[in-house]
A and B are shown apart, each in its own frame.
Chain A
Amino acid sequence: MLQMQARSAVIYEELDVFPEVLVIGCGTEGAAAALAVSENQPVTVIDHDTNHDGLSLIKGQTNITVNAGVKVVGLDGFPGQFLVSFMENGEYTKKSFGAIIVALEAQSSYDAKKYNRIELGERILSLSQFIKKDNDYSRQKVTFVLGQADRDSISSYATALSQAIALKEKDADVSILYYDMKVSADHLEQDYELARARGVNFLKYEGDLQILKTDVAATVQYSEPFLEETEQVKLVSDYLVLPEDYVAHPGTADLADVLDVNTGPNGFFQEDNVHFLPIMSNREGIYFIGSCHGPIYGVELEKEIETVKAEVGRFASGKTRVASLQPQVDAEKCAVCLTCYRCCPHHAIEIVHDESLNNMYHSAARMNPLACRHCGICSAECPGKAIQLPNYKDGQILQQLSRPPKIVAFACENSGTLAAELANKIEPELNALIQVVPVPCSGKIDALYLLKALERGADGVLLIACQKENCKYSRGNVRADQRKELVRKRLEAIGLEGDRVDIVHVAANQGNQFNESIRSMVARVNQLGSYPGKVIR
């Protein structure tokens, strides 16, 4: 069946963009990204720090410019037309790029606390020391201890497996001590199988594990869960290999500040929000790959690079197509107060000066079509009502409230309206009691809409927002929560019940929860009685 439900006509414009991509970070991850992207468009790689591990991979490649000893110190402009400021040999330089890929590699950090405070040495090596060291391990006894450090990733498992297989080729006696063998990535289970087939000893431990240091050998002492009434088992090896933790690059916070992108758990780049996938930032045109957003396994890194390559490929031709859906600013009302500029989660707003702008400053906010994600947060924040989002203008929204039913639910289109559709199928009879007013993000729900809904006859008002920490636009649902509080206070200030306004967090697939929140609101307003502040009866 052909299914169609045409969206109101969208005008697309074609914009000039810079095809060149800036890769920040010259480790192996940055170099791999540069190599991939350079197949489609020119790339500049800067080191930003002292890591040059990837240099040899990209030196002399066509389409790649390498600039060592360079640091990013500023960023202006918007996707397609970023203007990046660099500090280069004590001097400022500037260059334009279409997109930016952050590849500031995490650093491995051996944490002795994870291994009963044993220090590294000749026979006790960290995993990265082990990889770098060019020892001949033939006929040596090598033991890897997994699961004590690096617990949020599978990279140490992947590395240990491939190293173990290689060691077996050299006839080494290899053991891997583990608690959970992590194999949840392409090919890892095969590596595990292969390692077992080659005779790697896999030993499960439980509870505390002690590493004992002797002059001639390294010993790990652990509890063997399969042996009844266990004595602790001592495993003596020539070499013990201990994975490190990965910590965010020390320059992460500063670079995040310069680029105005968010960081997340443990100080890595990127907030922990599913909408950002592995590679997106809160800004269009700025991407993360590799360990800059958390420890990563090689195959996953390669997949991320392919995705980013496809994303920045939009700018490869020097032109890009974009929908003109960004909010429009009425300069006459714009006080150039910077509120929108500061509230925009995507850094999509600039203040422009133009004699034709009809206000005393000849200036106004302007939303960049390539950077804007059309959430409408700016328009809800604007104190002068100068910003209107196409298809969701204040007039268009208030028009829907001419004769509201008992409950008005302002619903985010990423969650609330979709849940409402499911809800309606489950319990259609509730439909008569509510009016769902769609907004692109709960951050678009203006405090004024809430008051107007009540003023015009609703008995209760709901803000239907996405689950906490799941806002597609980072903070819209947090702002919605603040607005609910603000309106409650305003109602209580005039002796009316603040409880008539509430926020619920539902996801797109929670039709039942949607109905539950409607039912509970209906019950609440039924108890409170008809809203006494109605102006239109």
Chain B
Amino acid sequence: MIVVENKSAEDILKMVAPYKKILVAGCYGCVTVCLAGGEKEVGLLASQIRMAREKEGNPIEVLEQTVERQCDKEYLVNFQDKARDVEAIVSLACGIGIQYLAQVYEPIPVFPGVNTQFLGANLDVGVWEEYCMACGECVLDKTGGICPIARCSKSLLNGPCGGSQEGKCEVDKSVDCAWHLIYDRLKALGQLDKMAEYIPAKNWHRNEGPRKLVKEDLTLEQ
């Protein structure tokens, strides 16, 4: 799941300062699951914006709507009645949804209501942890199912670095050392020999620009 965090009200209020009528747009996907952009958050933010503007003596009308997913244009269409009516939109979707919404509803300005953080697992109510960095070249088979890129503070492919103590990372004592976890897991799996296997350095250079995935055999237009 994509994990996001709500932007501060102050930032959002600055963004919408010039407008008198806006839409707060929620998404029932990842951002609902991570308790930051579902119908409830839409309500809370909308109420906050209204009250802040009342206090400044500069009232604003705030519409509210949440759709299934903001990363699919078929769902984005559902905003059209309300979008037609407003001067700006604050989206509580992840960075993907915000951009896609902006693209579909050009020229209405679309602002981010959240900071998209990472791809993570929901460990408990209100607790998320980064598990994947979408590096595009998965090594989990070699590391006992624990990603050193996402979970090692130094993203070391051939760890450990030697700085960990009692299983905790030297960069941040509250973080488990990923390579300690990998060692324990490989040991439990009887695959400790994999610790010795050298993983070649990853090419982080992205000269081809944003990544794009096209599956020719699945596309509709040949």
Residues of A within 8 A of B (CB): 333, 335, 337-339, 342-343, 359-360, 381-386, 446-448, 451-452, 454-455, 490-491, 493-496, 532-535
Among B43, B51, B55, B69, the residue within 8 A (CB) of A385 is: B43
Separation of A342 and B52 alpha carbons in the complex (Å)? 34
Separation of A386 and B39 alpha carbons in the complex (Å)? 9
Contacts of B29 in A (CB 8 A): 335
* Segment with Cβ contacts to A, from B8-16, B93-101, B151-159, B163-171: B8-16
Give the 6 A-B residue pairs with the shortest CB-CB distance, closest first. Answer: A533-B51, A494-B52, A383-B38, A337-B33, A493-B9, A451-B47
By the criterion CB–CB under 8 Å, are B44 and A494 in contact? no
Provide a sorted-by-A list of 30 A–B residue pairs whose CB atoms are within 8 angstroms.
A333-B66, A337-B35, A337-B122, A338-B33, A339-B35, A339-B125, A359-B68, A360-B68, A383-B32, A384-B28, A384-B40, A385-B40, A385-B43, A446-B40, A447-B44, A448-B40, A448-B47, A454-B51, A455-B51, A490-B44, A490-B48, A494-B9, A494-B10, A494-B13, A494-B51, A532-B54, A533-B51, A533-B52, A535-B51, A535-B59
* Given A494-B52, A495-B55, residue A342 in contact with residue B40 (CB < 8 A): no
By the criterion CB–CB under 8 Å, are A333 and B39 in contact? yes
Separation of A448 and B55 alpha carbons in the complex (Å)? 19
Among B33, B54, B125, the residue within 8 A (CB) of A335 is: B33
* Given A385-B40, A535-B50, residue A333 in contact with residue B28 (CB < 8 A): yes
Contacts of A495 in B (CB 8 A): 52, 55
Number of interchain pairs (Cβ within 8 Å):
95
By the criterion CB–CB under 8 Å, are A493 and B10 in contact? yes
Separation of A272 and B124 alpha carbons in the complex (Å)? 25
Separation of A435 and B66 alpha carbons in the complex (Å)? 31
> Which B residues from 124 to 138 make CB contacts under 8 A with A?
124-125
Contacts of A447 in B (CB 8 A): 40, 44
By the criterion CB–CB under 8 Å, are B52 and A385 in contact? no
Separation of A533 and B33 alpha carbons in the complex (Å)? 30
A344 to chain B, nearest CB (A): 11
Separation of A339 and B35 alpha carbons in the complex (Å)? 9
Secondary structure at the A interface, as helix, strand, loop or mixed, is: loop
B68 to chain A, nearest CB (A): 6
* Given A333-B28, A335-B28, residue A383 in contact with residue B50 (CB < 8 A): no
Secondary structure at the B interface, as helix, strand, loop or mixed, is: helix
A360 to chain B, nearest CB (A): 6
Contacts of B28 in A (CB 8 A): 333, 335, 359, 384
A104 to chain B, nearest CB (A): 27
Separation of A535 and B122 alpha carbons in the complex (Å)? 36
Among A337, A448, A532, A535, the residue within 8 A (CB) of B44 is: A448
* Given A339-B125, A343-B125, residue A451 in contact with residue B48 (CB < 8 A): yes
Report B175-199 CB contacts with A as 1/0, cut-off 8 Å.
0000000000000000000000000
Among B51, B54, B68, the residue within 8 A (CB) of A451 is: B51
B3 to chain A, nearest CB (A): 12
Separation of A333 and B43 alpha carbons in the complex (Å)? 14
> Which B residues from 22 to 59 make CB contacts under 8 A with A?
28-29, 32-33, 35-36, 38-41, 43-44, 47-48, 50-52, 54-55, 59
By the criterion CB–CB under 8 Å, are A533 and B54 in contact? yes
A410 to chain B, nearest CB (A): 16
Contacts of B33 in A (CB 8 A): 335, 337-339, 383
A526 to chain B, nearest CB (A): 18
Contacts of A386 in B (CB 8 A): 39
B44 to chain A, nearest CB (A): 6
By the criterion CB–CB under 8 Å, are A384 and B39 in contact? yes
Residue of B nearest to A360 (CB): B68
